[in-house]
Amino acid sequence: MMISKINIYKASSLSSLSVMGEDAAAFLNSQFSADLRQPHPGLCAYGLWLDAKGKVQADSWVLCRDAETYEILSLGTEAAILKEKLEKHIIADDVVIELMNGLSLLMLQGEGAEKFVDELLGEVPEKEGFIETEETLCFLGRSSRGANYNFFYRDNLAANAAFGQLEAAGAEAIDWGQIELSRIAAGIPAIPQELGVSDLPGEAGLVGVEVCTTKGCFLGQESILRMHNLGRARRGLYAVSGEGSTPSIPSPLVVAGDKRQPGELRSAYVTASGWVGVAMLKLDRLEADIECEGQRIKVGHAMGSS
């Protein structure tokens, strides 16, 4: 089968967490920002892990295998670090968290991705679901505006074989920089690199689905609801660009003749005409002549607005 208009990216040596126990569902719902009140086998929920002040610590997908068995997958935070964070909140809960090493990831994106996944698996994952076979599990990714899917393999040899078959059939291998550029174009923030421990989800438009406002109490809820119901963020995460050399990360942003710092550049990736990145900016400075390391930058779309 020849395929076209599909980009593929492969990463190895990833980890996940297995969360098991009679109280696993209630424990995860009390810690995770997305709604896990009615988990069911096949559920795949994307959300955030916050601290008590509502600041962003990490993100992940939580997959439900059965009422007492869950798997946590994160691309931005090492599973061992997330395990340590979660275990601090286990008091008298019947919950066991185990580290699972040796995962490989294939990311597919492009116009032909949905058709290929349908032909390969016989169906495509629902928006908040996953499909699992003997070799892999698949769910919707967060790397582009169009169709994109994550395939996780327990066996790296199987992942290599799948990658080779895709490439031989006409898929184009791309690097991580290209993945990041498509993500930024889609308005999807990287966590915790671009939205992290000093930031609130509302500063990147992530309150509503990724952070549920209607479920029961969860860690950081009070601060989140206060901003959501009563206030407006003073800062926001924005795509930015420049035509000079790629700045160092992180870099402070400045306005000539003004001592007030308008924000911070959190990421930057090379393009044909310069670079594109993401910055946390004060909303009252968006119209100012903002510079980074001596070069003028252009402010684009708000992240989370697509």
Please name the residue ranges forming H helices in 71-198. 79-87, 113-121, 156-168, 176-185
Q: Which two tokens stand for residue 2?
A: 């020849």
2 pLDDT band, cuts 50/70/90, is low
Q: Which two tokens stand for residue 5?
A: 């208009």
Instruction: Yes or no: say if 256 and 216 are a contact pair by the CB < 8 Å rule.
Output: no
3 pLDDT band, cuts 50/70/90, is low
User: With b meaning 16 or more CB within 10 Å and e meaning fewer, what string describes 50-80?
Assistant: beeebbbbbbbbbbbbeebebbbbbbbbebe
- What domains does the chain contain, in order, with CATH numbers? 7-185 (3.30.1360.120), 234-306 (2.40.30.110)
d(Cα 192, Cα 278) in Å, to the nearest integer?
A: 12
pLDDT at position 258: 83
pLDDT tens profile 143-160 = 998 899 999 999 999 999
pLDDT tens profile 240-273 = 999 999 999 999 999 988 888 999 999 999 999 9
Closest CA to 240 of 206, 207, 274: 274
pLDDT tens profile 177-231 = 999 999 999 999 999 999 999 999 999 999 988 999 888 889 998 888 888 777 7
| Whether residue 303 has pLDDT greater than 70 | yes
Computed over every residue of the chain, the mean pLDDT equals 94
Question: pTM score, two decimals?
Answer: 0.94
| Whether residue 1 has pLDDT greater than 60 | no
306 pLDDT band, cuts 50/70/90, is very low
pLDDT at position 249: 97
Closest CA to 200 of 235, 155, 165: 235
CA-to-CA dists, residue 207 to 56, 223, 226, angstroms:
12, 12, 12
Instruction: Yes or no: say if 251 and 66 are a contact pair by the CB < 8 Å rule.
Output: no
pLDDT tens profile 287-300 = 999 999 999 999 99
pLDDT tens profile 104-152 = 999 999 999 999 999 889 999 999 999 999 999 999 999 998 899 999 9
Instruction: Yes or no: say if 118 and 124 are a contact pair by the CB < 8 Å rule.
Output: yes
Residue 265, burial from CB neighbour count under 10 angstroms (0-12, 13-18, 19+): buried
pLDDT at position 244: 94
CA-to-CA dists, residue 198 to 33, 70, 217, 247, angstroms:
17, 29, 22, 21
pLDDT at position 260: 85
d(Cα 133, Cα 67) in Å, to the nearest integer?
A: 20
